[in-house]
């Protein structure tokens, strides 16, 4: 919303931005990143969601109107000048391990766990695993509009406890973060969803990623430290900080990297996530933002017909308000993720299903009553103004016809617009009949895949790294 | 590096990235809202559909000659079409001769 | 070898710029780097680690050389002390109360806390400091003017309500003088905020020719034990509420005697600048005088009325004054010219513009004070001081 105000201001049109009380701090901080720190805001007292219509009217009439008039007729203080910040190679601090950690923590550069002090030597080790110059720009990240570079990727990689040989993955991850398709600027939003990184390619084995038992759990350096790196980078370069630009009500913490079991996939002839997302063959990272999920335990049955109703129902159980991203905000951008253990995938494959067929079956089975979907985006959350019925949206051509095959409020409708919107990965303990389903944050963290580029000298560098 | 008390000393670099924006000033303000055209921008959230009418009413009372271009003219500023809406916004503001904007809702 | 972790107390604008860069440039232009040879030389981060055999002395030396003190020693704003201070304020440490004029450093709660620690405040004083900072950031206070004028104005803080007794803010013996930690440090904290977050460096940004001692601190409470209602009750607050009222005091003029003597001082050249902007001066009345007047049937309103009527500046004095010739006739308020046409000009536009405060010792020879107002717009800004444990 403030982005829209910034566009208007730059077009020469003065603006008043309506801001709820709890958001004022974030608005001020976000405005700095938009290059308009003086962006005027008009306070809407309290939070609108818990006010009766009469209260809302009273508050707006008493406070907001005057603020709007001021915003539009009084000049805010002029801002100018340059900010002097450290250059990449500058030493910003010198001290013991404890002192470095305290300095970093107190300056909001750390996540509260000890970091590895980023000395130039350690950073240099990481840089050896990337052929591009350290000052190569990988993108500019909102909300702070700071430049992502090969250098600062390495610095945060050191801090997170990564190994230097993970550097190519780190670079690819930040290219993905900077891709507008992903929408990193939403990473501080109120629901506080968290990214999952999915890794494909030979690097899984070359770098010792875990892709079997405990695939989503900490304990393995590659999966764990890279997950941590992601959130440190969101903090230090994107600029998401508690009580300021980060407004997640609860939030989550970093998820470990999910590596797929590509042996299993090859055995049953299924595609990888990266291939599904259009990046075939080789090393790739896929980032996507999930609101939450859960284990689907004890999937019982030896045929798809016996297994799929439970799996479908479990996906339905995980997806609720996120249906907004199917029918409302970014129509068709909801992309739930189902992770199958290899034994479940093999059983389904033995039953004649490839991934497309599986998704088609799940599309048919994972359904909820139309009235329930309408509640999730209307009566319960007030997400969609005017509380449109699905039939209205279909009539207006905004969502596919499958959502209004009749007027019956109890008719079953899908969770996504097309079967291909579902994502299916294979990982986890190969012999346990558990699955995992994630609900998705839609366009506010859209699946984005990038190939991982290795340095020319990768084999030799990797050999040396392993020999240490 | 070993410090004077025998503990290792680390010399460390900055973990952030360079800012790419220089702060700029906002657009010039109006001297009054009387006779002006106010555009409404909305992200379809947080009861803007109730709040904008209240603002219209109150502002019209104070500035009888003010007129409004409603939010549905511009499209939602948050969502699938956000990029398109924002890209077209300067031209839309010009076309509708908008003098000032009220933009919501940051909640 | 010891070390102190301190929060950098200097102002940072919303854009991320540090105001000390501007301050160093201005100080250099004016040849004033002698006071602050290390202006702008500090880590541009949230915290700093100061090492040394005597880190408290090191912090004092560094801060003095960076221009961050008022010339007196400060208490190093260590992270632990700031945590305690912030906790006592009931607000989020990153919340900003606004930009501090003229250089627009953000008055975040933790930066205010750092300056309050430096000033020597107890954590319990912090809600008062926060309310006072809110008040000076009110546009009506015209902080930009106060910070940059060539006149010697200082903020005057008047505290009312239960907080005064609870914190020991003195209203009696020597209430405007040294010796009382709350009076001394609360006012000092506000000054350090003005200097370090707003950039009111003497000579470089603040062009006050002389300044005044009140720029160290000018803070007192009103006596609660007089028969009159308190100032804040007059202003519409409940007796059980605590408030801080900010006025712009050009100076503090001691007046010995009774109402006539106060009126006489008000009706003198001391009020010339005040009447130019229809200012709101303060009259600090001795408690003995207040009791006697009350016994004779006087209310506070009647006292103000009397001072308005009798505290008149001779029109000839006004016409012959430096300021009368320095300022265009059309820039003088209509009420001043109209009164002058009748021979004498009151010190204020109307009686309610006089802020009456009862304070001082119970002396048989009453000691009052008159604080003429400085600048525009007319200013008397009051803020509620929340109860301990409550937010704003």
How does pLDDT run across A66-88, given as a tens digit for each residue?
999 999 999 876 554 457 789 99
* A84 contact residues in C (CB cutoff 8 A): 18, 21, 44
B29 and A75 within 8 Å at the Cβ level: the answer is yes
Optimal mutation site among A83, A102, A108, interface C, most CBs of chain C within 10 A:
A83
| pLDDT for res B24 | 58
C15 and B23 within 8 Å at the Cβ level: the answer is yes
Indicate if C25 and C144 belong to the same structural domain. yes
Residues 6 or more apart whose Cβ sits within 8 Å of residue C52: C1, C2, C3, C58
Residues 368-387 of A with CB under 8 A from B: 382-386
Indicate if C190 and C270 belong to the same structural domain. no
- Chains adjacent to C (≥3 CB pairs closer than 8 angstroms): A, B
Tokens of A204: 């899984």
Tokens of A286: 């896929």
Indicate if C153 and C288 belong to the same structural domain. no
Instruction: Quote the CA–CA distance of C14 and C184 in Å, as a whole number.
Output: 31
| pLDDT for res B82 | 81
C16 and B4 within 8 Å at the Cβ level: the answer is no
* A99 contact residues in C (CB cutoff 8 A): 3, 49
C52 phi and psi angles, rounded to 5 deg: 160, 165
Distance from CA of A173 to the nearest CA of C (A): 28
Indicate the number of domains in chain C: 2
- CA C153, C191, C347: angle at the middle one, nearest 5? 25
Strand A41-44 and strand A15-20: pairing?
parallel
Optimal mutation site among B26, B29, B31, interface A, most CBs of chain A within 10 A:
B26
Residue where one domain finishes, among candidates C196, C223, C242: C196
Average pLDDT over residues A4-12: 94
Q: What is the DSSP letter of A384?
A: S
Indicate if C280 and C159 belong to the same structural domain. no
- Within 10 angstroms of residue B5's Cβ, the number of other Cβ atoms is 8
Distance from CA of B29 to the nearest CA of C (A): 18
Three-state secondary structure of C349-374: CCHHHCEEEECCCCCCCCEEEEECEC
Contact C108, C7 (CB under 8 A): no
Q: Of A322, A29, A19, nearest to A188 (Cα)?
A: A29
Does C1 reach chain B within 8 Å, measured CB to CB?
Answer: yes
pLDDT higher than 80, residue B80: no
pLDDT higher than 90, residue A451: yes
Average pLDDT over residues A349-378: 97
Tokens of A169: 């993955």
pLDDT, tens digit, 9 for 90 and up, residues B14-47: 999 998 866 557 899 999 999 999 999 999 889 9
Query: Which residue segment(s) compose the domain that C312 sits in?
Result: 254-373
Residue at B76 is within a domain: yes
Instruction: Quote the CA–CA distance of C383 and C235 in Å, as a whole number.
Output: 11
CB-nearest to B107 from A47, A119, A141 is A47
* C12 contact residues in B (CB cutoff 8 A): none
A7 and B86 within 8 Å at the Cβ level: the answer is yes
B4 and C1 within 8 Å at the Cβ level: the answer is yes
Instruction: Quote the CA–CA distance of C121 and A432 in Å, as a whole number.
Output: 63
Distance from CA of B92 to the nearest CA of A (A): 10
| pLDDT for res C389 | 63
pLDDT, tens digit, 9 for 90 and up, residues A34-78: 767 778 999 999 888 889 999 999 999 999 999 999 999 998 765
| pLDDT for res C369 | 97
Distance from CA of C320 to the nearest CA of B (A): 39
B74 phi and psi angles, rounded to 5 deg: -100, -25
% of chain B with per-residue pLDDT over 90: 72
Optimal mutation site among A2, A4, A245, interface B, most CBs of chain B within 10 A:
A4
DSSP states of C109-130: HHHHHHHHHHHT--GGGHHHHH
Distance from CA of A348 to the nearest CA of B (A): 35
pLDDT higher than 90, residue B5: no
CB-nearest to B18 from A7, A85, A329 is A85
Tokens of C143: 């902080």
Contact A253, A195 (CB under 8 A): no
- Scanning every residue of chain B, which has its alpha carbon at the shortest distance from the alpha carbon of A5? B103
**A25 band by pLDDT with thresholds 50, 70 and 90:** low
- Scanning every residue of chain C, which has its alpha carbon at the shortest distance from the alpha carbon of B21? C15
Does C16 reach chain B within 8 Å, measured CB to CB?
Answer: yes
Contact C8, C48 (CB under 8 A): yes
Q: Of A309, A304, A306, A313, nearest to A349 (Cα)?
A: A304
C179 against B7, higher pLDDT: C179
CA B1 to chain centre: 50
Indicate the number of domains in chain B: 1
Indicate if C179 and C296 belong to the same structural domain. no
Residue at C220 is within a domain: no
The tally of CA atoms less than 13 A away on the side-chain side of residue C388 is: 10
- Scanning every residue of chain C, which has its alpha carbon at the shortest distance from the alpha carbon of A80? C15
Instruction: Quote the CA–CA distance of A446 and A109 in Å, as a whole number.
Output: 26
B19 and C1 within 8 Å at the Cβ level: the answer is no
Contact A290, A440 (CB under 8 A): yes
Distance from CA of B77 to the nearest CA of C (A): 25
B55 and A64 within 8 Å at the Cβ level: the answer is yes
Which residue's structure tokens are 């001021």? A70
The CA radius of gyration of chain A, in Å to the nearest whole number, is: 24
Does B85 reach chain A within 8 Å, measured CB to CB?
Answer: yes
- Scanning every residue of chain C, which has its alpha carbon at the shortest distance from the alpha carbon of A84? C17
| pLDDT for res A35 | 67
| pLDDT for res A80 | 44
Residue at C332 is within a domain: yes
C104 and A77 within 8 Å at the Cβ level: the answer is yes
**Which residue ranges make up each domain of chain A?**
2-73, 90-192+217-254+453-468
Tokens of C110: 């933790």
C79 and A106 within 8 Å at the Cβ level: the answer is yes
Does B20 reach chain C within 8 Å, measured CB to CB?
Answer: no
Indicate if C13 and C116 belong to the same structural domain. yes
Does C15 reach chain B within 8 Å, measured CB to CB?
Answer: yes
Indicate if C156 and C281 belong to the same structural domain. no
- The SS3 assignment for C61 reads helix
Average pLDDT over residues A320-348: 97
Optimal mutation site among A18, A57, A103, A332, interface B, most CBs of chain B within 10 A:
A18
- Chains adjacent to B (≥3 CB pairs closer than 8 angstroms): A, C
Does B4 reach chain C within 8 Å, measured CB to CB?
Answer: yes
| pLDDT for res C392 | 63
Instruction: Quote the CA–CA distance of A129 and A249 in Å, as a whole number.
Output: 38
Low-confidence ranges of chain C (pLDDT < 50): none
Residues 6 or more apart whose Cβ sits within 8 Å of residue C210: C152
ipTM score here?
Answer: 0.87
Contact C231, C280 (CB under 8 A): no
Query: Which residue segment(s) compose the domain that B94 sits in?
Result: 37-104
Q: Of A296, A287, A340, A331, nearest to A314 (Cα)?
A: A296
Distance from CA of B85 to the nearest CA of A (A): 9
Indicate if C192 and C261 belong to the same structural domain. no
CB-nearest to C1 from B5, B19, B23 is B5
- The SS3 assignment for A126 reads helix
- Within 10 angstroms of residue A278's Cβ, the number of other Cβ atoms is 8
Distance from CA of C15 to the nearest CA of B (A): 6
- Scanning every residue of chain A, which has its alpha carbon at the shortest distance from the alpha carbon of B2? A96
Q: What is the DSSP letter of A208?
A: T
Residue at C215 is within a domain: no
* CA torsion angle A235 A236 A240 A243 (round to 10): 90
* A118 contact residues in B (CB cutoff 8 A): 12-13, 15
Instruction: Quote the CA–CA distance of C150 and C268 in Å, as a whole number.
Output: 21
pLDDT higher than 90, residue A255: yes
Indicate if C192 and C281 belong to the same structural domain. no
* B23 contact residues in C (CB cutoff 8 A): 14-16
CB-nearest to A28 from C14, C21, C43 is C14
Average pLDDT over residues A382-392: 93
Residue at B85 is within a domain: yes
Picking from A80-89, A124-133, B73-82, which range would have the lowest pLDDT averaged per residue? A80-89
Distance from CA of B78 to the nearest CA of A (A): 7
pLDDT, tens digit, 9 for 90 and up, residues A223-235: 999 999 999 999 9
- Chains adjacent to A (≥3 CB pairs closer than 8 angstroms): B, C
- The SS3 assignment for B5 reads coil
- Scanning every residue of chain C, which has its alpha carbon at the shortest distance from the alpha carbon of B16? C45
Does B88 reach chain A within 8 Å, measured CB to CB?
Answer: no
Instruction: Quote the CA–CA distance of A207 and A162 in Å, as a whole number.
Output: 11
Distance from CA of C14 to the nearest CA of B (A): 9
Between the alpha carbon of residue B30 and those of residues A12, A68, A75, B41, C247, the distances in Å are: 11, 12, 9, 18, 32
Instruction: Quote the CA–CA distance of C48 and A429 in Å, as a whole number.
Output: 48
Optimal mutation site among B3, B23, B25, B26, interface C, most CBs of chain C within 10 A:
B23
């Amino acid at each position: 919303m403030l982005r829209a105000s910034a566009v208007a201001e730059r077009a020469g049109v003065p603006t008043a931005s309506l801001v709820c009380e709890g958001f004022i701090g974030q608005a001020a901080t976000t405005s700095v990143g938009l290059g308009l720190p003086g962006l005027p805001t008009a306070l809407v007292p309290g939070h609108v969601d818990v006010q009766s219509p009469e209260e809302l009217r009273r508050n707006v009439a008493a406070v907001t109107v005057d603020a709007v008039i001021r915003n539009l007729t009084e000049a805010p203080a002029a801002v100018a000048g340059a900010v002097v910040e450290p250059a990449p190679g500058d030493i910003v601090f010198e001290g013991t391990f404890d002192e470095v950690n305290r300095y970093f923590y107190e300056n909001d550069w750390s996540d509260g766990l000890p970091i590895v002090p980023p000395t130039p030597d350690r950073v240099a080790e990481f840089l050896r695993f990337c052929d591009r110059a350290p000052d190569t720009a990988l993108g500019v990240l909102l909300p702070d509009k700071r430049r992502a570079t090969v250098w600062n990727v390495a610095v945060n990689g050191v801090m997170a406890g990564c190994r230097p040989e993970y550097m190519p993955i780190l670079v690819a991850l930040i290219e993905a973060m900077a891709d507008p398709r992903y929408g990193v600027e939403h990473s501080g939003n109120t629901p506080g969803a968290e990214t999952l990184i999915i890794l494909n390619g030979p690097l899984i084995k070359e770098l010792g990623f875990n892709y079997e038992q405990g695939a989503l759990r900490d304990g393995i350096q590659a999966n764990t430290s890279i997950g941590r790196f992601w959130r440190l980078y969101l903090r230090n370069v994107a600029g998401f900080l508690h009580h300021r630009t980060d407004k997640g009500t609860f939030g989550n913490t970093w998820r470990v990297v999910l590596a797929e079991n590509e042996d299993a996939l090859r055995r049953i002839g299924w595609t990888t996530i990266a291939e599904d997302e259009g990046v075939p063959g080789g090393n790739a990272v896929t980032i996507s933002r999930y609101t939450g999920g859960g284990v689907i335990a004890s999937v019982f049955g030896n045929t798809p017909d016996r297994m799929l109703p439970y799996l479908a129902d479990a996906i339905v159980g995980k997806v609720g308000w996120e249906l907004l991203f199917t029918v409302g905000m970014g129509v068709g951008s909801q992309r739930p993720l189902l992770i199958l253990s290899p034994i479940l995938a093999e059983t389904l494959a033995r039953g004649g299903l490839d991934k497309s067929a599986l998704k088609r079956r799940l599309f048919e089975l994972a359904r909820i009553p139309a009235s329930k979907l309408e509640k999730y985006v209307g009566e319960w959350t007030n997400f969609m103004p005017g509380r449109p019925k699905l039939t209205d949206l279909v009539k207006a051509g905004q969502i596919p016809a499958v959502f209004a095959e009749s007027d019956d409020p109890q008719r079953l409708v899908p969770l996504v617009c097309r079967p291909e919107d579902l994502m299916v990965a294979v990982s986890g303990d190969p012999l346990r009949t558990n699955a995992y389903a994630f609900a998705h944050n839609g366009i506010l963290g859209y699946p984005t895949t990038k190939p991982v580029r290795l340095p020319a000298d990768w084999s030799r560098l990797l050999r040396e790294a392993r020999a240490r | 590096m070993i410090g004077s008390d025998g503990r290792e000393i680390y010399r460390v670099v900055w973990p952030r990235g360079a800012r790419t924006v220089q702060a700029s000033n906002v657009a010039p303000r109006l001297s009054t809202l009387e006779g002006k055209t106010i555009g409404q921008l909305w992200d379809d959230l947080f009861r803007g559909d109730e709040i904008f009418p209240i603002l219209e009413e109150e502002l019209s009372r104070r500035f009888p000659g003010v007129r409004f271009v409603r939010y549905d003219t511009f499209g939602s500023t948050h969502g699938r079409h956000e990029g398109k809406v924002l890209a077209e916004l300067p031209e839309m503001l010009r076309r509708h001769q908008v003098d000032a904007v009220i933009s919501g809702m940051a909640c | 070898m010891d070390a102190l972790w301190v929060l950098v107390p200097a102002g940072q604008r919303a854009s991320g710029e540090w105001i000390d860069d501007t301050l160093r440039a201005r100080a250099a232009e004016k040849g004033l780097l002698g006071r602050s040879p290390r202006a702008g030389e500090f880590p541009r981060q949230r915290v700093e680690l100061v090492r040394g055999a005597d880190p408290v002395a090191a912090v004092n030396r560094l801060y003095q050389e960076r221009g961050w003190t008022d010339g007196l020693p400060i208490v190093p704003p260590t992270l632990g002390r700031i945590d305690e201070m912030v906790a006592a304020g009931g607000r989020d440490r990153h919340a900003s109360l606004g930009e501090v004029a003229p250089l627009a450093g953000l008055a975040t709660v933790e930066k205010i806390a750092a300056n309050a620690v430096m000033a020597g405040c107890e954590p319990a004083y912090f809600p008062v400091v926060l309310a006072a900072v809110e008040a000076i950031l009110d546009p009506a206070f015209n902080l930009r003017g106060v910070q940059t004028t060539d006149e010697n104005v200082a903020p005057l803080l008047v505290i009312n309500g239960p907080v005064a007794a609870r914190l020991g803010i003195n209203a009696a013996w020597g209430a405007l003088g040294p010796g009382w930690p709350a009076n001394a440090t609360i006012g000092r904290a506000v000054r350090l905020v003005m200097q370090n977050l707003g950039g009111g460096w003497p000579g470089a940004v603040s062009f006050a020719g002389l300044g005044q001692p009140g720029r160290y601190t000018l803070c007192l409470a009103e006596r609660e034990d007089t028969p009159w209602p308190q100032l804040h009750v007059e202003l519409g607050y409940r007796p059980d509420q605590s408030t801080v009222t900010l006025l712009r005091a050009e100076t503090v003029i001691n007046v010995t005697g009774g109402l006539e003597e106060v009126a006489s001082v008000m009706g003198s050249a001391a009020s010339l600048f005040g009447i130019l902007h229809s200012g709101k001066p303060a009259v600090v009345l001795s408690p003995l005088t207040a009791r006697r007047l009350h016994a004779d049937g006087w209310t506070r309103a009647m006292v103000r009325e009397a001072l308005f009527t009798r505290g008149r500046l001779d029109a000839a004095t006004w016409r012959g004054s430096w300021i009368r010739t320095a300022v265009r006739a059309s820039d003088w308020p209509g009420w001043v010219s109209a009164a002058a046409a009748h021979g004498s000009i009151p010190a204020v536009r109307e009686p309610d513009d006089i802020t009456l405060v009862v304070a001082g010792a119970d002396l048989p020879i009453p000691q009052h004070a008159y604080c003429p107002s400085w600048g525009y717009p007319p200013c008397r800004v009051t803020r509620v001081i929340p109860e301990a444990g409550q937010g704003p």
